[in-house]
Structure 1
């Protein structure tokens, strides 16, 4: 049973979003990242195009969105970070605090290797200047290059979060998201106007269910959670800055729609281009950094398109890294009474040090790379991504859904959602059933998929 609800009586005034639009853009920015523009297209390519897209849409609307409402409700109710939110419900001695602690630790770890990949995107945007003619394998194996790019990307992330919720995260989200949208539209226009692009559009939009497998369905479920930044406490943290007057359901729907539209637009950037150039869409994770540069090099105005694409990929990565850092910063500000500046600088320094093994795991240090101590097929970065960024987040989402649905109580969560909302009792009843029974079961299926090697 809940021991209390809401923030402590002696808690300092909580920062809040300056507007609904600011929250929507910041939360959508958290969700819109490498998962949408790098991971979604290659999964769709491996999953047969249109069939994967339809399954993904069903998963994100039927499973991801209701769970998003739950995390936002928990954050706003407590006005605290993931650890504080759970503590506000069950007290300081509960084992459930481990779940909140895992969210904070996951934010540390994911931000470390995520910044490495984001650094690659930044580097590829200016590759013709800093490393002309260098192939991807040589590029990521250069320690000086990748560590410099990591430091640059992480430094920008720190500067944004240093500004606080309204003046830092919200202000920059209002700039970065519209710029991202314009750049995506420019790349789409060039892609769909290529000769032979129609075949790629058909592959992407016309579902062929003959190749649909259990593995593809589980992958779509996993992507729905991955792309919405669920299971890591980011939406709990962002929800904690929401006003009690805000309509959680309406704002959450906008976030899901914005995120999903960007993911779908990523497909329109990529599939028409690769089909026009005769490239196999099922090329896996190498699609963005290995295949697409080759595709761009073969198309008219390809150099400009390539630079534009990697700039927008860098922006998308930045909007997500901001939320990852904010989860950790919020914990130290709330629970340890650190200033925001102290939190950002110390956490940023530790994250940089944590990122170095990932940066060196693509050939620079053989023992950290594929074929080394982390197995023949993956290096340190891939190991961390699988066990923390994939399996770990699924476990986080599973335990958080149990906590919200059964420990805090779906009825209490529903009461929080009703503040600032006009949701009907029937809709809330359906949501309560989904959060209690459907979501834990679905996430458990994802976990089994990871453990058994299906994903």
Structure 2
């Protein structure tokens, strides 16, 4: 096998290769920034409340331990051991070309996700500006019609370009000076804003009704369906199966404890989801809104609630600033996956690669920006396989490609790479437990997540 400094896909930016990579704290912040995405904000609190509150929260923690953390650790371990992009690392550790091709799946997945994720991220920036400007403060506004009118126009294309420009700029500056510094500024700011919004939400009249909906334990609501939903969210919330943590892992110092890093990242993801629930549901219930999930919660129900709140323009603006930060930190980790591959594959400079990949992802995302279902967008009535372009990209990446990518990681670490435990720093019982989960438990559960996601396994 080739030596570390000469491995396929080496970028020269990694520790031990003439580069500095991440600092220990910088890596954890960047990884938390990757996992802190939009899904936790508008999906996790609702599914928690709908499936038994604290009972579901405990179930989610269990699923995080059984599925999320083992695969997270595997991705980071492969990245640091292989010292290459999401494709090259698999080849470097086995010297077998078929793993290189398997690794390409996660790179393609990340590129496709970036194309439409930038569209949604752009919505958050638009709403942030509108809220701070007071344009969302009229309680008589039809917020559903306002959102559909905006999403059906051409402005989302502009905001997608803004997101791509910011993301590309951060990545072009490098791992230490760009990605790490960006997260070191934004993640602490993110937590401060989140806590301010939580305090404001919990002091609203009627807020405790929302807290009760979110956290009241009701074990009678737990079902087979709840287990599958908890498993799926434990997998998706950590950005697994798309090469982000593998790519970030390749920039980690050898002295960093990957096990402790995985626990810190998992805890950060869990804490964010918990506090997000204490922001959203007290606010929704205080103003008599129906709890909802997804786009309807973030861009329709909550703007209507903020419009009725004293200083609502300020708190609404902070909320969308929070969403924008979550979107941007995730976007940086997603785009870094194809950027790392392209610059190592073709020996391009980081700046050139960032510009090319950001531009291509933007162009690919334009049809998604113009095809949001329910709007009057130019492509909203164009369907492929029964879905709009936006929904097709979302479905194929989230529910098909990401589980496949996660399955590849478990099989590679569990069966193909014999020195995974040494790289991960696990020995004895911890190593045996990790291997047992990766070889037997995680693959089965990922298959169940996949079957449930595509509708072939439904207990409703």
Establish whether TM, by shorter chain, passes 0.5. Answer: yes
Q: Are 1:113 and 2:116 counterparts?
A: yes
Q: Are 1:397 and 2:406 counterparts?
A: yes
Q: For 1:417, which of 400, 412, 424 is the aligned residue?
A: 424
**For residues 382 and 141 of structure 1, do their structure 2 counterparts lie closer, same or farther at Cα, with a shift above 3 Å needed?**
same
Specify the alignment match of 2:365 in structure 1.
355
Q: For 2:44, which of 40, 63, 76 is the aligned residue?
A: 40
Specify the alignment match of 1:431 in structure 2.
434
CA distance in 1, matches of 2:214, 2:271: 14
**For residues 12 and 105 of structure 1, do their structure 2 counterparts lie closer, same or farther at Cα, with a shift above 3 Å needed?**
closer
CA distance in 2, matches of 1:91, 1:69: 22
Q: For 1:19, which of 23, 27, 46 is the aligned residue?
A: 23
Q: For 2:6, which of 5, 8, 16 is the aligned residue?
A: 8
CA distance in 1, matches of 2:412, 2:3: 14
**For residues 47 and 454 of structure 1, do their structure 2 counterparts lie closer, same or farther at Cα, with a shift above 3 Å needed?**
farther
Matches within 5 A, 1:15-414: 15-91=19-95, 93-94=97-98, 96-128=99-131, 129=133, 135-143=146-154, 145-362=155-372, 363-366=375-378, 368-369=379-380, 371-374=381-384, 378-409=387-418, 412-414=419-421
Native 8 Å contact 2:231 2:449 kept in 1: yes
Native 8 Å contact 1:99 1:400 kept in 2: no
RMSD, aligned α-carbons: 2.1
TM-score by structure 1 length?
0.92
CA distance in 2, matches of 1:306, 1:45: 23
> Deviation per CA, 1:310-329, whole angstroms, max 9, x where unpaired?
00100010000000111111
Native 8 Å contact 2:371 2:382 kept in 1: no
**For residues 82 and 284 of structure 1, do their structure 2 counterparts lie closer, same or farther at Cα, with a shift above 3 Å needed?**
closer
> Deviation per CA, 1:233-282, whole angstroms, max 9, x where unpaired?
11110110111111110111111111211111110110111121222224
Paired residues, what number?
442
CA distance in 1, matches of 2:297, 2:385: 23
For structure 2, the residue ranges without an aligned partner over 5 or more in a row are: none
- The offset of 1:451, in angstroms, is 2.6
CA distance in 2, matches of 1:207, 1:130: 38
Native 8 Å contact 1:43 1:284 kept in 2: no
SS in structure 2 of the partner of residue 126 of structure 1 = helix
> Deviation per CA, 1:100-148, whole angstroms, max 9, x where unpaired?
11111111110110000000000000125496667111011111x1111
Q: Are 1:445 and 2:452 counterparts?
A: no
- The offset of 1:92, in angstroms, is 5.5
TM-score by structure 2 length?
0.91
Native 8 Å contact 2:75 2:246 kept in 1: yes
